[in-house]
């Protein structure tokens, strides 16, 4: 059998001849503005599943009618007709209405063309509106484009005046995909949304402290917001403030903390507002990897290091390593590396020590002793989560016991002596998260999937507890990290008062 390629443009012109032509027309399309357009059922059915179901089903009244009403103005609908007859999409305005027509009549190519135009028209000022459109018409490409734009422009979602007026679906999407803030700050704005959108006649109920209309809260929506709040990351003072709000069910708070203490799986859905971390790892004879869990397979003591693909060169970044079942020294090291200068800044959880280049100033906010393990604040058997903060603003690296929120160590790499001596500071090049494994054990390290905050957005414009947990950027508190002040408020809270990350 032989075949011959036919010029598509020339072939399309034959169908274009029938466009808006009464020749062989068997149906009249009456538009929203009462214009009459002759059409051909066979062509409409061949292109549109909606028309196919309309004209090909004997039980539909349209299949026997010579006139069908179209719920769109003639100008916009003619764009769809031209596509159905010729395969050409041409429109200069009204991409939103073209998207609506493409969705209504199941014209995927028309939808894609409209989405392409909408993406070009999306700006930092109209992303919320475009996201509403993406959700309404189920356009994942437009949705992902808007979310990426919000992240690129560091758009402040929670403090935006439009926040309380968003639909619940959009608010939940933004919360999961873009919000970078403290857990208490997130909860406070979620409560604001629920109060603003309370409906006394349905799912709303008065919050504790009064039954007036001003205290009404949409409890059904609040429960959906709470799935994105990690109460285990809050300090005691923050938990007290949550209780004082009177609207968060104590059962939710109790179950979250109980699961965390028992080592069970988290009850919350992780938010994705930070950078998604990607790791340079694959299963080999030395390393076993599964679901971001990495462990040493070979029995030798040669180190195996896994690096993140992500490189940080500015801002403040916080990520975690979950250490599991390591019981002997020198099993694993967690921290960051400067691969250009071959510098590693690692914390060794098993013996509570810092491994860093010579000249690094290391400060511990708790008293040390000749036996470091005697003062380690890690929980029993060292099953713990270590938080690492790479802070380019203060040019230091910090390690935290993520469970207790205690600052373990602050390491400040030596600065370059001069621009001419060939030396360089670790912060003059990008840092990457890294973990080094030494020994085959039954344990391993669960690598962080994302960072918790970026750049200046670790601070939120929400009232925080007056416990000295955090001070505004650019200011300093009277408290400081000191190895000789074990009874200071810094040690009790586990955070210094210098604008440290709010987990």
**DSSP reduced 3-state for 134:** helix
Taking residue 259's Cβ as centre, other Cβ atoms within 10 Å add up to: 15
Beta bridge partner(s), residue 343: 338
Taking the C-alpha atoms of residue 142 and residue 131, their distance in angstroms, rounded to an integer, is 7
Taking the C-alpha atoms of residue 376 and residue 383, their distance in angstroms, rounded to an integer, is 13
Which pTM was predicted?
Answer: 0.56
Query: What pLDDT does 381 receive?
Result: 44
Query: What pLDDT does 450 receive?
Result: 75
The CATH class, in words, for 279-414+424-493 is mainly beta
Each residue's pLDDT tens digit in the chain (503 positions)?
555 555 555 556 666 666 767 787 788 999 998 899 898 888 889 899 988 888 888 778 877 788 888 899 998 898 888 888 888 888 767 899 999 999 999 999 999 999 999 999 998 888 899 999 999 999 999 998 898 788 766 567 888 888 999 999 999 999 888 886 778 888 999 999 999 998 766 555 555 544 455 568 999 999 999 999 988 878 788 888 999 988 999 899 888 888 878 877 777 887 776 677 888 876 677 888 887 888 888 877 788 889 988 888 877 788 889 887 765 555 788 999 998 888 899 998 877 888 888 888 998 876 544 334 334 444 444 457 888 999 887 889 999 887 666 788 999 988 764 444 445 667 877 899 999 888 776 678 888 877 876 544 333 222 222 332 222 223 332 222 222 222 222 222 222 223 333 33
Which are the contacts of 301, defined by CB distance < 8 A and separation ≥ 6? 330, 438, 439
Taking the C-alpha atoms of residue 90 and residue 188, their distance in angstroms, rounded to an integer, is 47
* DSSP E strand boundaries for 224-365: 279-280, 287-290, 293-296, 304-308, 316-324, 332-338, 343-348, 353-355, 361-363
Beta bridge partner(s), residue 399: 388, 409
**DSSP reduced 3-state for 52:** helix
DSSP state of 422: S
* Domain boundary assignment for the chain: 8-121, 157-261, 279-414+424-493
Are the beta carbons of 216 and 223 closer than 8 angstroms? no
Q: What order do you get walking across the sheet with 361-363 strand by strand?
A: 287-290, 293-296, 444-447, 316-324, 384-391, 396-401, 406-412, 361-363
Taking the C-alpha atoms of residue 121 and residue 147, their distance in angstroms, rounded to an integer, is 15
Query: What pLDDT does 169 receive?
Result: 94
Taking the C-alpha atoms of residue 20 and residue 333, their distance in angstroms, rounded to an integer, is 73
Are the beta carbons of 179 and 158 closer than 8 angstroms? yes
Backbone angles phi, psi at 136, to 5 degrees: -65, -40
**DSSP reduced 3-state for 150:** helix
Say if domain 8-121 classifies as CATH 1.20.140.10.
Answer: no
CA distances from 49 to 53, 57, 113, 166 (A): 6, 12, 18, 33
DSSP state of 427: G
Query: What pLDDT does 207 receive?
Result: 56
Alpha helices, DSSP H only, in 27-126? 41-47, 49-55, 74-86, 95-104, 108-121
Query: What pLDDT does 11 receive?
Result: 53
From the number of C-beta atoms within 10 Å of its C-beta (0-12, 13-18, 19+), residue 48 rates as buried
What's the token pair of residue 388?
């690492």
Beta bridge partner(s), residue 387: 320, 400
CA distances from 264 to 258, 260, 347, 424 (A): 8, 6, 25, 44
Strands 27-30 and 67-69: parallel
């Amino acid at each position: 059998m032989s075949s011959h390629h036919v010029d598509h443009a020339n072939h399309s012109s034959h169908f274009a001849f029938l466009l808006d032509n009464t020749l062989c027309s068997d149906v009249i399309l009456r538009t929203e503005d009462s214009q009459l357009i002759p059409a051909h059922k066979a062509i409409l059915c061949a292109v549109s599943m909606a028309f196919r179901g309309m004209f090909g089903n004997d039980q539909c009244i349209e299949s026997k009618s010579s006139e069908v009403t179209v719920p769109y103005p003639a100008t916009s609908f003619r764009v769809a007709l031209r596509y159905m007859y010729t395969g050409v999409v041409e429109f200069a305005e009204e991409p939103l209405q073209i998207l609506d027509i493409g969705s209504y009549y199941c014209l995927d190519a028309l939808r894609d063309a409209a989405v392409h135009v909408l993406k070009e028209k999306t700006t930092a000022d109209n992303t919320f509106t475009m996201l509403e459109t993406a959700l309404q018409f189920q356009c994942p490409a437009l949705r992902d484009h808007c979310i990426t734009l919000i992240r690129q422009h560091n758009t402040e979602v929670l403090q935006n005046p439009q926040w309380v007026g968003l639909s619940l679906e959009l608010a939940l999407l933004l919360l999961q995909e873009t919000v970078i803030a403290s857990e208490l700050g997130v909860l406070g704005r979620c409560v604001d949304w629920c109060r603003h959108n309370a409906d006394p006649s349905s799912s709303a109920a008065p919050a504790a402290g009064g039954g007036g209309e001003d205290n009404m809260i949409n409890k059904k929506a609040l429960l959906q917001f709470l799935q994105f709040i990690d109460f285990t990351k809050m300090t005691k003072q923050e938990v007290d403030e949550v209780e004082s709000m009177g609207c968060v069910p104590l059962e939710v708070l109790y179950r979250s903390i109980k699961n965390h203490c028992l080592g069970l799986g988290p009850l919350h859905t992780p938010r994705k507002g930070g950078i998604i971390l990607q790791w340079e790892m694959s299963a080999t004879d030395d390393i076993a990897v599964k679901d971001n869990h990495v462990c040493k397979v070979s029995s030798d003591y040669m180190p195996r290091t896994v690096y993140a693909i992500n490189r940080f060169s500015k801002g403040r970044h916080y990520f975690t390593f979950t250490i599991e079942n390591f019981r002997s020294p020198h099993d694993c090291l967690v921290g960051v590396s400067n691969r250009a200068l071959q510098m590693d800044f690692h914390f060794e959880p098993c013996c509570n020590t810092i491994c860093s280049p010579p000249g690094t100033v290391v400060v511990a906010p708790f008293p040390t002793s000749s036996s470091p393990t005697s003062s380690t604040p890690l929980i029993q058997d060292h099953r713990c989560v270590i938080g690492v903060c790479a802070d380019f603003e203060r040019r230091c690296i910090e390690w935290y016991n993520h469970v207790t929120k205690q600052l373990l160590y602050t390491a400040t790499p030596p600065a370059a002596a001069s621009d001419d001596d060939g030396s360089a500071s670790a912060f003059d090049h990008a840092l990457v998260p890294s973990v080094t494994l030494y020994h085959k054990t039954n344990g391993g390290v669960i690598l962080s999937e994302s960072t918790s905050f970026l750049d200046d957005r670790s601070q939120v414009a929400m009232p925080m507890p007056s416990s000295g947990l955090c001070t505004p950027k650019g200011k300093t508190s009277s408290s400081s990290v000191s190895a000789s002040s074990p009874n200071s408020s810094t040690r009790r809270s586990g955070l210094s008062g210098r604008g440290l990350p709010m987990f």
